[in-house]
Amino acid sequence: MKKLLQINTSLFSSDGQSSRLADTFVATWRARHPDTTLAVRDLAREPVPHLDAERFKAFITAPAERTPQQAALAEHADELIRELQEADVVVLGLPMYNFGVPSTLKAYFDHVARAGVTFRYTEQGPEGLLRDKQVYVLAARGGFYVGTPLDSQTGYVRDFFGFLGMKDVEFVYAEGLNIDDDSREAGLNAARERFDALVA
């Protein structure tokens, strides 16, 4: 039995194009792998707080040495990390906002990147501790950015997951969604065809 974690990052929650794509991808996956269990993390409905000094200090303090306040601050991040640790497959719904990732996703990344837990430093460099996971990124964009200098998302997201040990990352792009109706439909159809081929 595989565990799938779906992370929606659209500010429109389940109504966002990236969330809808992620939903369709997950439905396709579960139809072909019916024993898969699903957990959904919606960053619009349950925003992750942006990192501040107090929260960061709580994260880096050893659990046995945390104050009650620090333990409370770390508890949410610990839950997010457990979800990732337990997942075999991660599906990320990713809209593009002003050429970058949603700020809520950056906050999420800041919460789950923890030295000694999800990665560690070695003499050979950093080593990710979340291995043997498949990651699928459903990227929805209003314009066309793949392969251009304005696509700051792909490298950043791939590098982040890779830093945590998740090297098997597939991107599915739905682009041109805000150009016109024909462009939107073409972009969504291309994405559906792509992930239909990916889900074996």
Helix or strand (DSSP H, E) at 138:
strand 134-140
Of the pLDDT bands very low, low, confident and very high (cuts 50, 70, 90), residue 87 is: very high
Choose among 105, 90, 80: nearest CA to 26.
Answer: 90
Which contiguous run of DSSP H or E holds residue 75?
helix 68-86
Question: 97 a known binding residue?
Answer: yes
Q: Is 1 annotated as a binding residue?
A: no
pLDDT above 80 (res 109) = yes
| 99 annotated among ligand-binding-site residues | yes
Residues written for the chain = 200
Residues 23-73 pLDDT 10s: 999 999 999 999 999 999 999 999 999 999 999 999 999 999 999 999 999
- Looking at 3.60.15.10, 3.20.20.100, 3.30.230.70, 3.40.50.360, the CATH number of the domain 3-198 comes to 3.40.50.360
Mean pLDDT of 102-128: 96
**Where along the chain do its domains lie?**
3-198
3-state secondary structure of 70: helix
Residue 168 pLDDT: 97
Which pLDDT belongs to residue 195?
Answer: 87
Burial 39-71 (b: 16+ CB within 10 A, else e): ebbbbbeeebeeeeeebeebbeeeeeebeeebe
Q: Binding residue per annotation — 19?
A: no
- Kindly report, residue by residue over 145-172, the tens digit of the pLDDT: 999 999 999 999 999 999 999 999 999 9
CA dihedral defined by 139, 143, 146, 150, rounded to 10 degrees?
-110
8 is in an annotated binding site: no
pLDDT, averaged across the chain: 96
In angstroms, rounded to a whole number, what is the distance separating the alpha carbons of residues 5 and 177? 26
